[in-house]
Structure formats: structure tokens, C-alpha cells
Amino acid sequence: MTIRKILILVPIFIIVFLLQSYFWVPTYEQQSRGNPGRLNEYITASIGDASLLNPILSADSASSEINHLVYEGLIDYNEDLRFRGRLARSWKIYEEAFFYVNEQASIPSIGRAGAEEIVELLRKANPGTRPFDPQMKASLENIEEITLLPAREFVITRQEKEGTGSGQTKEITIRVNAPARIRLVLKEVDQFLFQSLSKILGEDYFSTFKGEKYVRITPEVEPSRKMQYIQEVLPSTEHNPIIVFQLRPDVTFHDGHPFDAHDVKFTYDAIMNPKNLSPRLSDYEPVKEVTVVDPHTVRIVYKRLYSPALGTWVMGMLPEHLLNEEVLQKEAIQSGKDPEKFSMRQSRFNRHPIGCGPFVFKEWKSDQYILLDRYAQYWEGPPHYSRYFYRIIPDPLTQEMEFYAGTVDAYAVRPHQVERLKEDPTYQSFSGLSFGYSYIGYNMRREPFNDPRVRRALGMAMDVDQIIQYVLFGQGERITGPFVQQTDYYNKHIKPLPYDPQGALKLLEEAGWRRNQEGWLEKNGKRFQFTLITNSGNELRKAILTVAQDAWKQMGIDVRTDLLEWAVFIQERVNKLDFDALILGWSMGIEPDLYQLWHSSQTHPYQLNFVGFKNEAADDLIIKIRQEYDHEQQVAYCHQLHEIIAKEQPYTFLYVGKWTAVLDKRIVVKETDTEGKVIYKKITPTKTGNYMFYFNRWIKLPEAPVFSPEG
């Protein structure tokens, strides 16, 4: 069946549904007469319910929408995608760097030198007296302070597995007799510091430092493991970027409790607690320590270079007084659960959240709605809307009818509706290319998806251009890899997979698949059979499900399909890695850090590399991207990573959609000028296409205002 035939019946069904629905959906005017407060309520529709209203635990879009309103981070992005303060009013970023004195190294200018001589050499180093080297000059001028730390002894213990599969552990004692160490305080993070210092101390000064002569491990461990421990406890060099946040003194949680630095440290500790299974853990693993300096100052030290560091603190902050260990243990006892096994994931807090964002949680009726009220004490001033309703309406046609009637103010406009609604004078519309993409993901732990030829063949059997034309009505563009297409991190030289069913069959034959007498592909007597799943309520994914099934069946692949309610789809299948193949999409930020999605360490349950992609070269590039501060070099690494992932095809990358938002023209931005006069402005997207950036200033008027030509 062709894509055109699959979709031909949809318009007829829509017409019948609209005629039936017309008689029972109340109009906006009827609502307003019966409830004048409706003007102060913003109602949006979603196909799926939230899962956990806790920003460190949830990863689905529905939960994120609510969390964004209930919680607030230390920072976020302004209209131009530059960082601005939120719960933090300011911050400072600098670095402390360390290196051990290499007593065996010969320094070019003075031969072997002790610790004090090296300190003196660095203090007197003058880039102006050397051959011109801009990088070395910048590194030396960036040093604010040089301190000599004396030799010291310390002991560390670790738990080591007894043997493969035994499950037993033994305690390892690591005794360190460390030599003197030099501490450098830098004005800014400098990833080239030790390269620059090598030009003074000698090219091999740092690489020839022998940490093993200062470390004794008992009982003995195998050599490679021993070197890992030595590198961990006694690295020859160490970069420690530092962020110091100054917090706002006037912020309270929705229960009136003051927000302070202890809540920041608690949020970090909760993410790192393995009992909580936070999908955010990889973002914060590079943190070495979080220290409360005083109630309104928090100091965050990183254990290595980590270029996305600042951006991770957009994370919503949790209330320590409501979720600390004592509170959770008390809740466990009250609910008859084992306090030792009870974690934040099981807490009732996740259905009754308390944050310090612009809206206060009021009520959650599963699969019906989530209700929020504005927070009158919000530090930036309360939103204009008094209430926010998040209605769960799985059927997109019902969403559409309720939007026309005014019972919802916003919904996910379908591609086939875009042109019609753009021309309707009742509405204002905004559109742009999404920050994200849709894909078919394969569980690479299962056969035959562990074979890249099979994954590539499945992609080549899909006519993605036809999907964009007939399913998206042209509202999308092809995509070939994991980065946001609008950024320079995206490798535009990678070509999309060709639509080539015959070439796909040849690849499958190479992989050992042959047609049997019934026309099905089989290998070693086993039919090529699997189930493709996605969530219900998303008509685009449902259409792709049908198109993919049809394309693959024509190849001789026995494909079953299943539509699952959103919560079941995420919690039971995706989080638990229980699937063959699935259709999903990612909403992306502009940062190029893909550790959570693609690093091999993130392939466990409740983590985001649920397809099980593992590639050493990719892992290496992902780490380099995280540690690279030079933009051009970071782009080069991203292009290489894009190339690897496109070659391996863990996903069939489909398209990036063009989003369209449609609102009643009576929804405007309400502001007050310097004289206290209320003025109304048109809603305008930011440069990045975020039309909801000023949502807290939105309000709905009884009549659409008349704007001047300037808006």
C-alpha cells in the first residue's frame, strides 16, 4: 500500500468527526459568560500524561513542560540563547590547576629542579622575552596565583570485585606518599595551560611523571587496574574548573520555605545518588564537589575540563527540607515500605511537587489534567495568567475541535492544518524548524539489529522523502545525524540514506537473509520478524508506523506493530529496554554534548542510550567534545561523531519537523510602561524561534487589540 493510499481516508474521517463534534463542544463565548475567569486561564492540550513531576528524574516532554513552570534553575537562556541569572543573580567562572613536581625531569633552562625552584621559574616566566607564542603568552598572563603545596601522605579505600561473575568484593587499600604539588589559580579556564607550561618545563615534563613510585596498593590488583587507580589518585596534571554562584536572597519555595545554597547542593547530591536512577547523572558526574560557602553562595568544582558545565545548572532546584533522607525514611515507614530500599523515585512528592517557579502545583488527575496556579510570591513577579491547565486529550481531532471552540488555547497543530490556520484571521501563528528530530531506533542488544548491514538496509527501504511530502505535508526536512540541523555542529556533508529497496535486499543477503518459499526473509531457519512500537495519540508516528511496516513487509520482513499509551510506552518499554524497534523523537538543546544519548556507559535501564549503541571511537569523541573549549575544534569533533553514527545507523534518522504554533489573536503580551500605564504588545518569537519566552506576561483579552504598524 502506498503512502498516498494509506492517508486517503483521513480527510473523510475528519469531516465526519467535525460534524459530530460541532454539536457538543461549547464555544469560547459560552465559557466566558459562564466563567468570566476563563480569560485568566491558559489551557493547553497534550496527547500524553506526565510521568514524574521531578526534574532530576523525568525525561519525557510532558513532565518537562510542567516541571519548567513549577521549578526553576540557577540560570537559563535569554532571547539570544545567552545565559542569564534566575535563582542565581550572578556567577564567576575560573580555574584551579595542579601538577606534581617531577623530580626526575630535566628542565631545559636549569636541569633538574626542586619544587621551590620551579615555582620561582614560573613566577619569573616572561612571554615577552621568548619567541612570539600567542598561546603561551595568553596562558601565562591568565595565571593569577602560584602556590607550592607540600608533600603529603594519605590513604584511600576502594571496593574491588573478587572475580568475573562472583558478585563478591574485597577492600583495596591505596597508600599514597605524594610529592610536592603546584597549584595555579587562573582567571579563566585554560585547556592549553599544560601545553604552554611544557614549553618552559620541557615537552616531556608531565608525561614522564611516574605516579607508581608513590603509590602502594594492597592486596595486589592486576596491572591495568593498578594504573587506573594511580591515575585516579595521583594524576600528573589536573584541571579543576570552578563556578561560584551568588544566589538571590529573596526566593522562596511554594510552601514559603526560603531557597538557599543547601538546596543546590541537595539537588546535586540527589542526582548523584544511585538509588534515584536519575537520567541526569552523566551531566553532573564531572563535578568533584559542591560546597556551601554561605546560604547565598555555592562553589562547584569540576574534576576535569567540562565545557558544558554552566549549561547544566538550568536544572530545576529541589527543596532539601521536603526530600532529605530523614523525610524519605519517614515516608517509607508510613507507607509500609523498606526504608533502606525506598528512594526519591517512590516518593509521593513526584505527584505533589513543590518548587520555586512561577506556577504552584494544585492538582493532578491521571490521564485527565494537571492544574497549576500562579505563584504570587514569585521573585520576578507573578504571571498574568492565574491558572494553567494541562489537559490530556489523546485524540488529535478532539484537540482540534476544542481549539476551534476556545476550550483549549493551544495544541499540537498537525501539518495538514498549517496552511489553513495561517490564513484564518482569528489566529496568530508562528513557525520554524524544530530543535530536534524524529527517528526509528533499533535495540542493538537483540538480533538482527546488532548487524549494521541490517540497520542500514531497514533505512534504505524507507522512502523518507515521501513521508515528508505526504505525512508531513512538506513540513519537514531530511536529517542524517544526531546534532541540531541549524547549528554548525551538524555535518552537512553527510548524505541521507538513499531510497533503494533492491540495494537493501543485497545488504540483507550479505548478512545471511534469504527469501523462503513463502516470500519471507529467513536466516538459519528463523524468519526475520520483529515488533515496531510507538506511543498512541501521535498521528504522525502512527502514520510512520504503517508506512514502515508496509515498506519492510514488501522486503519480506514480518513486522508487527503496537501503539502504547504514553506512560506505558516510556516506563515499561523504553526505560526497561523491552523493545525491538521504536519510533520516537528528541527535542534538543544547542549544546553539542551527546553523552547521555550516545555514550556506551549510558545503555542501562532508565538511561537515554536505550538502543544500546556502543562504539569506542564515538565514546572518545563524545569525551573530547565535552572537554573542548575551542569552538572550531569542537565542531570538527562533532562532524567526526556525526559521520560515525551515520555509518553505524543505530537510528534510521527520519526528519526534523517544522513547528507551527497557532494562538487566538486575543492572547497578547501585557506590560507596564515607566509611567505605570498598561500596554499590550504582539507576541513575537525570539531570534531562536521561542515564541513562549515571555509566557509569564501573556494574557487573553475579551477583544483582540488593534496594534500600530510597529506592533
3-state secondary structure of 514: strand
pLDDT of 439 above 70: yes
The pLDDT of 279-308, averaged and rounded, is 95
- Choose the final residue of a domain: 237, 255, 279: 237
| 21 against 373, higher pLDDT | 373
Same domain, 563 and 591: yes
Res. 626: pLDDT tops 80: yes
Which of these, 289, 310, 292, 295, lies nearest to 248 by C-alpha position? 295
- Asked whether residue 50 is assigned to any structural domain, the reply reads no
Domain end residue (candidates: 186, 206, 237):
237
Which DSSP symbol is given to 128?
G
Within this chain, do residues 279 and 258 fall inside the same structural domain, yes or no? Answer: yes
CB 25 within 8 A of CB 16: no
pLDDT above 80 (res 29): no
Q: Letter for the amino acid at 492?
A: K
How far apart are alpha carbons 418 and 410 in whole angstroms?
Answer: 14
Residue entry with cell 607564542: 133
Grid cell, residue 576, equals: 526497561
Q: What percent of the chain has pLDDT over 70?
A: 93
Print the domain residue range for 710: 667-711
The answer on pLDDT for 54 being more than 50 is yes
What does the alpha-carbon distance between residue 220 and residue 225 come to, in Å, rounded to a whole number?
10
pLDDT > 60? residue 654? yes
Q: In what order do the strands lie in the sheet with 369-374?
A: 41-46, 387-392, 369-374, 359-365
How far is Cα 127 from Cα 113, in angstroms, rounded to an integer? 21
φ, ψ of residue 526 to 5 degrees: the values are -115, 130
- Tens of pLDDT, residue by residue over 158-186, are 888 776 555 678 889 999 999 999 999 99
Cα–Cα dist 627/645, whole Å: 20
pLDDT one-digit tens code per residue, 522-550: 999 999 999 999 998 888 999 999 999 99
Alpha carbon distance 184, 21 (integer Å): 71
Q: What is the pLDDT of residue 129?
A: 55
Measure the CA–CA gap between 497 and 504, rounded to whole angstroms.
11
What pLDDT was estimated at residue 710?
Answer: 52
Residue 26 has pLDDT above 50, yes or no: no
pLDDT of residue 433: 84
If asked whether residues 263 and 281 sit together in one domain, one would say yes
Residue ending a domain, choose from 659, 680, 695? 659
What is residue 558's three-state secondary structure?
Answer: strand
Amino acid 59: pLDDT = 82
* Bridge partners for 155 per DSSP: 175
Q: CA-CA distance, 44 to 69, in Å (whole number)?
A: 13
High-pLDDT (> 90) share of the chain, %:
69
Q: Please check whether residue 393 lies inside any domain of the structure.
A: no
The number of distinct structural domains making up the chain is: 4
Whether residues 614 and 654 share a domain: the answer is yes
Q: What are the φ/ψ torsions at residue 243 (nearest 5 degrees)?
A: -120, 130
For residue 475, what is the domain's CATH number?
3.10.105.10
Report long-range pairs for 325-329 (Cβ below 8 Å, ≥24 apart): none
In tens, the pLDDT along 655-689 reads: 998 888 889 999 999 998 888 899 999 998 887 77
Task: Kindly report, residue by residue over 121-130, the tens digit of the pLDDT.
Answer: 898 886 655 5
Q: What is the pLDDT of residue 708?
A: 61
For residues 284 and 319, state if they share a domain.
Answer: yes
Are residues 567 and 466 both part of a single domain? yes
CA separation for the pair 111, 101 (Å, rounded)? 13
Q: For residue 605, is pLDDT > 80?
A: yes
514 falls in which pLDDT band (50, 70, 90)?
A: very high
- Report d(CA 235, CA 255) in Å as an integer: 46
Residues 587 and 510 in one domain: yes
